[in-house]
Amino acid sequence: MDARTEERTWTVGELAGDLGITTRTLRFYEAEGLITPARAGSNRVYGPREHARMRLILRGRRFGMTLAECREIVDMYTGAESSEQRQLTTLLARLDAIAEDLERRRADLDRTLTEVTDVADQCRNRLTELGLEE
């Protein structure tokens, strides 16, 4: 019965619930060419591949990337194995650029984090002072 190729599938509603988004978002992303689920008749069928792809996209969104940027990256991921030498080279360049950007963001975030915790510490000190004065 070919049981080993039986992969889990999701409907729009299921996947949306699973990912914490709405069905509208899934359909919108499809219209924008970010995902291409299979069809059972007219109904969308999402497989594990689409599930992973969506998680990638959503992570991109969390980092403030536009949908176009998300698509670019996800396409690069999925096309990484099948690429020819020339494409691999340009892909590698893009990946390095992205990594560089991410490291900049990381440094930025670290600075912000220490600043925030510093202010929080000042608050704590001020509070203990106030507590001792009265």
Partner DNA sequence: CTTGACGTTCACGTTAACGTCAAGCAGGCG
Partner DNA sequence: CGCCTGCTTGACGTTAACGTGAACGTCAAG
Residue 124's alpha-carbon distances to 18, 83, 87, 129, in angstroms, are 40, 55, 54, 9
Q: How crowded is the C-beta side of 59, counted as CA atoms within 13 Å?
A: 9
43 binds DNA (CB under 7 A): yes
Q: Which amino acid would we find at residue 118?
A: D
Q: Quick one: which of 38, 68, 80, 116 contacts DNA (CB under 7 A)?
A: 68
Q: CB under 7 A: which stretch of 40-48, 72-80, 99-107, 122-130 binds DNA?
A: 40-48
Q: CB under 7 A: which stretch of 62-70, 76-84, 88-96, 116-124 binds DNA?
A: 62-70
* Sequential DSSP letters for 80-111: SSS--HHHHHHHHHHHHHHHHHHHHHHHHHHH
Q: Quick one: which of 18, 22, 113, 125 contacts DNA (CB under 7 A)?
A: 22
Give the integer Cα–Cα distance in Å for 93 and 96. Answer: 5
Asked if 57 contacts 29 with a C-beta cutoff of 8 angstroms, the reply is yes
**Binding track over 30-59 against a copy of itself, x by CB under 8 A:** -----------------------------x
The residues in 65-104 that bind a copy of itself, with binding defined as CB under 8 A, are 76-77, 80-81, 83, 85, 88-89, 91-92, 95-96, 98-99, 102-103
Q: Quick one: which of 9, 23, 83, 98 contacts DNA (CB under 7 A)?
A: 23
